[in-house]
Amino acid sequence: MVTLSEAKDLPSSLRKRKQSTVVITLQSLCMQAGRIPILFLIFTGLLPSQSAPQASKSAAAKEQVQAEQEPAATKLSVPIFRDIAAQAGLTASHISSADKHYVVESMSGGIGLFDCDNDGKLDIVTVNGSTVDRYRQGGGDPLVTLWHQDANLKFTDITQKAGLARKGWGMGVAVADFDNDGNLDLFVTGYGGNALYRNKGNCTFEDVTDRAGVRGGGFSTGAAWADYDRDGSVDLFVSRYVHVDMNDLPVPGSTKFCQFKGVPVQCGPWGMEGETDLLYHNRGDGTFEEVSKRAGVSDPDKYYGLGATWGDSDNDGWPDLFVADDATPNHLYRNNHDGTFTDNAMVGGIAMNSEGQALGSMGVTWGDYDHSGRLSMFITEFADQPNTLYRNEASRGFEDVAMQSRLGQVSFPLVGWGTAFFDMDNDGWLDLFVVNGHVYPQMDNVKGSAAYAEPMLLHRNLRNGTFEEVSKPAGLADMPLKSRRGAAFGDIANNGNVDVVVLNVGEPPSLLLNTNQSPNHRVLVHLLGTKSNRAAIGARVTIHTGAMTQFDEVRSGGSYLSQNDLRLHFGLGAAARIDLIEVRWPTGKIETFEDVAADKIYTIVEGQGIKDSVPFSNLSAR
């Protein structure tokens, strides 16, 4: 009998077989009562690694039924997005070499939205990247660029003034108020070490990386804050990718692991040694203790970690941790409420897709897209793989509905990165955005392959478990193709429509302003903890209107190495009032607010009620 613990041997086997397909047949197909009687591991190195996924017969039949029941979706209007980055002043480029000879050159970077001076308007941080020469000669480049939003959607580069000077090779970003002083702090991951910048107020920062003890090392990628032990101080998870020695870089094309579609390319991650992950417990005095081993989230198998995000996946009030791993099985660590975690991904059916493949997972987003009252997980994946939607089936674990939902088909050729569930048209149903871009510039000369620069995808929620791809009517299909990485989501114009900022590799970012014209009502909820962590990370807000019940949680990190607006946005459809807002604070306390008017930005302080309400602006781009 093969036990679950033996399944942990998967990644080393994977490393030995370039992109080989691992088929795991779980006898009596596995999820009944959360138990797996027998697990057969069949390594099928002879199977074509690029074979197209095929929906099962039952899935195809289900799809046909759904198609017949579908509303005439194309008749609904789609919000138009306009890229206003240049006129907004977002002109500094992400730093990257064009050739991409090494894996470290392909993975940066993230982008973030947060209000660094508490003036009510979102500011923007982009992670910079570097090049091999610049890193070897001068220690890399400043990790981030910080833009302050002045007025009327104009931004000023304040990086120098803000004191964000540390150099390195930046990868990702996550925001929290780790010292509960009311100013949002900035954590940046990077190859060769991370940075923690304490916000002194007014968007000026102090580099406290070394004092806090969170520099880490290796090739850090994803980061996500949450108060996993509910002691009132946010803790920090950092995922790491592969071991790269800057003085001994593998030569592109040098081994079978450095070929793709018959073309010599960068080496990795296949064939490379992975790295463990890190969990920093916040002592509450400005310092942290690395506790990943004790907590059970250290990833001793060294899977290739990328996107990381916390979410209460089982509705028990404690944050669980999801880590997307590239070309290796994903982790879903369930919180044991005692400072430890149990990796439930394999048993829960979210480690690999429905075909038993460990996909090239990059970006992550939780969302209750089907109003089930549970968080489902969407993951962006590598080329020749469908993006995956894992529907949360409560005690039965997760079901891969990539094909049934129609999210998988259109994403198949593309390499997916930044993503989020968000309600683009305020109808109360979560839509989905995905940015793409290949890691190999060499693909531009390969027939039958997606090119290096790729389009974005926008999936409208059809309210029946399926989505329709609407990037064309949204104006996104007409934008230039680029190789994109991070994407962050938030209401930059404070008008109740969720906008998107996108990290374009080697170029300035995009600011995609959502010019939604629908009359649907909406609300933004800004939470401030008192006993809970100040930024209320991990808080859950449930919104009841006559027509529907929705919920979301305040999250640090997510997407691809990026940070979304910490304020929660809800579309309300025709409802001009909210019957009930329920706030479950990270410490577990529940507060409710009845009969609340829509179309405002509410600030709710733990234990003190609604402290502030601001009507939405009429601001839109001219």
In the complex with Ca ion, the residue whose CB is nearer, 231 or 591, is: 231
Q: Can you spell out the DSSP letters for 179-229?
A: T-SSS-EEEEEEET--EEEEEEETTEEEE-HHHHT----SBEEEEEEE-TT
Sheet containing strand 388-392, strands side by side:
361-367, 376-381, 388-392, 398-400
| One of 275, 325, 427, 491 touching Ca ion (CB under 5 A) | 427
User: Residue 275, interface with Ca ion (CB under 5 A)?
Assistant: no
Using omega within 30 degrees of 0 as the cis cutoff, is the peptide bond preceding 269 cis?
A: yes
429 touches Ca ion by CB under 5 A: yes
Using rule CB under 5 A, residue 115 touches Ca ion: yes
Question: Largest alpha-carbon pair distance within the chain?
Answer: 66
What stretch of H or E contains 123? strand 123-127
**Environment class of 28 (CB within 10 Å of its CB; exposed 0-12, middle 13-18, buried 19+):** exposed
Tell me whether residue 429 or residue 440 sits nearer to Ca ion (CB atom): 429
What sign does the CA torsion over 227, 296, 10, 30 have? negative
Q: Contact with Ca ion (CB under 5 A): which of 70, 157, 231, 393?
A: 231
Residue number with CB closer to Ca ion (257 or 369): 369
Q: How far apart are CA 323 and CA 306, in angstroms?
A: 7
| DSSP states of 598-610 | SSEEEEEETTTEE
Q: Which of residues 364-423 bind Ca ion (CB under 5 A)?
A: 423
**Least Å from the CB of residue 498 to Ca ion:** 10
- Least distance from C-beta 270 to Ca ion, angstroms? 36
- Measured from the CB atom, the residue of 185 and 314 that comes closer to Ca ion is 185
CB of 284 to Ca ion, least distance (A): 8
Least gap, CB of 184 to Ca ion (angstroms): 6
CB 528 within 8 A of CB 539: no
Residue 57 CB coordination number (10 Å): 8
Kindly determine how many residues on this chain lie close enough to bind Ca ion according to the rule CB under 5 A. Answer: 20
- Binding of Ca ion at residue 468 (CB under 5 A)? no
The interface with Ca ion within residues 127-186 (CB under 5 A) comprises 177, 179, 181, 183, 185
Q: How far apart are CA 376 and CA 399, in angstroms?
A: 9
Least distance to Ca ion from the beta carbon of 183, Å?
Answer: 4
Between 10 and 146, CB nearer to Ca ion? 146
Closest CA to 321 of 119, 434, 454, 174: 174
Q: How far is the CB of 616 from Ca ion (least distance, A)?
A: 17
Does 425 engage in binding with Ca ion (CB under 5 A)? yes
Q: Rounded to whole angstroms, how far apart are CA atoms 14 and 328?
A: 7
For residues 433 and 564, what is the distance between their CA atoms, to the nearest angstrom?
13
Nearest to 216 by CA among 160, 260, 172, 264: 172
Q: Output 99 or 206, the one with its CB closest to Ca ion.
A: 206
Contact call for residue 334 and Ca ion (CB under 5 A)? no
Among residues 105, 229, 343, 553, which is the contact residue for Ca ion, using CB under 5 A?
229
Q: How many CA atoms lie within 13 A of 25 on its CB side?
A: 5
Closer to Ca ion by CB, 241 or 280: give it: 280
Tell me how far, at minimum, the Cβ of 182 lies from Ca ion, in Å: 7
Question: Is residue 119 part of the contact set for Ca ion (CB under 5 A)?
Answer: yes
Cβ of residue 535: shortest distance to Ca ion, in angstroms?
8
Which residue, 368 or 431, is less far from Ca ion as judged by CB?
Answer: 431
Residues that bind Ca ion (CB under 5 A): 115, 117, 119, 121, 123, 177, 179, 181, 183, 185, 227, 229, 231, 233, 235, 423, 425, 427, 429, 431
